[in-house]
Structure formats: C-alpha cells, structure tokens
Structure 1
Amino acid sequence: MTPRLLFRSVAIAEAITWGLLIAGMLMKYVFQVGELGVKIGGFVHGLIFIAFGITALLVGVNQHWGVRLTLLAMVTAIVPFGTIPLDRGLEKNGRLDGGWRHTRTGDPRDHTRVSAVLRWMLARPALLAGVLGVALVSIMATLLTLGPPGGAG
C-alpha cells in the first residue's frame, strides 16, 4: 500500500463516518428516534478521526510535508468532509507522490532522527502496525474515559 492509497482510504473513511455521525444526530435531534445512531456513529467516527490523524502524521513525515502542512492535514478532519478536498489538493500538488522511504537519500530531510526512525519502523511493518494500533486504542480509550464532547447530555 502506497502513502497515497493509505491516506486516500483513511480520508474517505473519515468523510463517510462524518456522514454516519450527522445521520445519527439527525435521527436523535430531528426525528427523535433515540440516540443509538449518535452512539454508534460517534464511536466509529471517533475511531476513524484518530486513525486519520495518525495517518496524516505518518504520511506527512514520509512525504516531507513539514510541520505546518502535517498539522493542517490533521486539523482538517475537524471540518465535516474536509479530508476529501484536502486529499484532492495534496494529490493535485504532488504531495502524495512516491512510495514509502525505506532508504536514506541525498535529500537533507532524510538525515534527521525522525526520518531514521520512520525508515527503521518501515523495515518492520508488523511492529509499525502494532505501535500505530496501540496508539489508536490508547487515544480512543483515554477519550472514552474523559467522556463525549460537550458532556453526557
């Protein structure tokens, strides 16, 4: 899986889960048919929202986006369906071109500790997947412990 395919897949999933959450909110607040849609849509959206942030960070480091663009990509998930125009813009500007950086190149950006750690992790895909999975579950568990945005109401 290329950085482009991973990023696009999670960006689309993030947009779809926004739709699920909005549909759940309509069911609860407009049609007053209960809150199951919000609970399910909110949970799935939260999980994919966090996964998108992790994916944006991973792909941003791999693609040498820099801190500003990487943070912008992560924050874009806050806007409903915002990951789709972001993905299209990154594609149009060539920011998703290329594969995973398994080897160091002559590019000075490949000579940083962050790039070295990325290459080391890319050489161990099972470990990378495990670390990212643990990060996802840990963040989600922490947020569930803290409670829903805006309180339980």
Structure 2
Amino acid sequence: MLKTPLSRFHVIGLLEGISYLLLLAIAMPLKYILGYDLAVLIVGWIHGILFIAYFITLAHVWYVHRWPFGRVSGAAIASILPFGTFVLSAKLRLNEEISKTNNLPD
C-alpha cells in the first residue's frame, strides 16, 4: 500500500487531516474550556510531525510525478483547511481512476 510516493501521500494526508480535526475538535476545547493543557501538547506534537511529513511527501510527489505548481499549491492549502486533505485525497483518487479508465486497451 505504501510502495509509491502517491500512496504514501494519501496515507500521510489522511493521518494529518485526522490529527488536525482531533486538535481542533477535541484537544483545543479540552484546553480552553476545561483547562486541560496536556491534550494540546500531545495532539499538537503528533499533528506537527504529521504536518511536516505531509510536506515532505508532497515535495516527493511533486518531484516524482512532476505536478504543476498549481496542484502543489492546492495541496499545500488543503493541509490548513479542516477536511481539506480528505477532499484532496478523494479528488486525486478520482483522477487516478479516470486515468486508469482512459488508458485501458480496446
């Protein structure tokens, strides 16, 4: 599953998106409503590592697949929007399926 740069990008993107939602929806309310600072510390670190991994894998996909700058910029913006990496992943998978369908022999 993680053999290609694009498959690694999909997985890291989904994990980064989940960690971002956990940070926004669970850890931050725990900190600011209940005063439980440890939640943001733990989830924040995990999200930070995944955020960095997301950009490393994005750079690798950009290099290997020669993505245009606009697509790379869109992927970067998706990383800071809630649910952005999920939408991007679905769009990329759809593009992959369309490409496979168009390349089928007659």
Q: Which TM-score tier does this pair reach, normalised by the shorter chain?
A: 0.7 to 0.9
Give the number of equivalent residue pairs.
96
Query: What is the CA distance between 1:83 and its match in structure 2?
Result: 0.5
Contact 1:14–1:81 (Cα < 8 Å) also in 2:
no
The aligned counterpart of 1:103 is none
Unaligned runs of 5+ in 2: 101-106
The structure having more radius of gyration, on CA atoms, is 1
Point out which structure has higher relative CO (alpha carbons under 8 A, 6+ apart).
Answer: 2
**Aligned twin of 1:85:** 87
Aligned pairs for 1:4-153 (under 5 A) are 4-22=6-24, 23-30=26-33, 32-94=34-96
Q: Which runs of 5+ in 1 are unaligned?
A: 99-153
- What is the one-letter code of the residue matched to 1:69? R
Identity of matched residues, %:
33
Q: Distance in 2 between matches of 1:36 and 1:29?
A: 11
Runs of 4+ with deviation above 3 angstroms: none
Higher helix residue share: 2
Alpha-carbon RMSD? 2.0
TM-score (normalizing by structure 2): 0.79
